[in-house]
Amino acid sequence: MNKIQLTKEQMGQLAGGLLFGALFIYGYLFYFWLPLGKAITEKTKKVAAIEADILNANAQKAKYKNLEEKLVSLQLEKEAAEKKLPRERKLPDLLRTITDLSRKYKVNVRSVAPAGSAQVAYFLKVSYTISVSGKYHDLGRFLTALGIQERILTPENLTMSATSDPASSASATFTLAVYQFKG
């Protein structure tokens, strides 16, 4: 094989070309390739972390998929409980209930008087003394209707007596205990 002989000028151009090529590769490597590779690695880690968070959120969502429905259900239960055991006294509602039931069961309410209140652990027990008159079975239906109201009402200390009035065969006096939430 023949050896290639280069002149000094050609060797200078070759050395300059190699030096320029080396500088280009060095510049490309340290100013473009490595920073871009580093940014790609960081972004890849961020994407992996976000995907892990999404998987975790989906797992939590699957675990509590009925959370919104349960919240609505609990809200309805709370409203029902507040109807049974309200936070306020609501005396007008109580009087309206007693009046409506007395009309429905043909009972004459003679008097409603406050009889005091007592605090119990989680509620307040407010008592009213009520005197009514009517037919014996109508009084029984009236007292039963009071006991099955949505609001908790309890007739206590019932005393009944016969009357000589032909329109009503019995009269009754009782204490109506009305409960109120104390929270």
Reported as a single tens digit per residue, the pLDDT across 139-182 is 999 999 998 988 888 899 999 998 887 777 899 999 999 888 77
For residue range 32-64, list pLDDT tens digits in order: 888 888 888 898 999 999 999 999 888 887 777
Stretch (H or E) spanning 75: helix 67-84
The pTM is what? 0.58
Residue 112 pLDDT greater than 80, yes or no? yes
C-alpha closest to that of 157 among 167, 172, 147, 142: 172
CA angle 85, 87, 93 (to 5 degrees): 75
Adjacent-strand bridge partners of 114 = 128
Count Cβ atoms below 10 Å from residue 64 Cβ, excluding itself.
Answer: 10
- Side chain identity at residue 33, one-letter code: W
C-alpha closest to that of 83 among 98, 94, 69, 70: 94
Res 28: pLDDT = 85
Adjacent-strand bridge partners of 129 = 113, 175
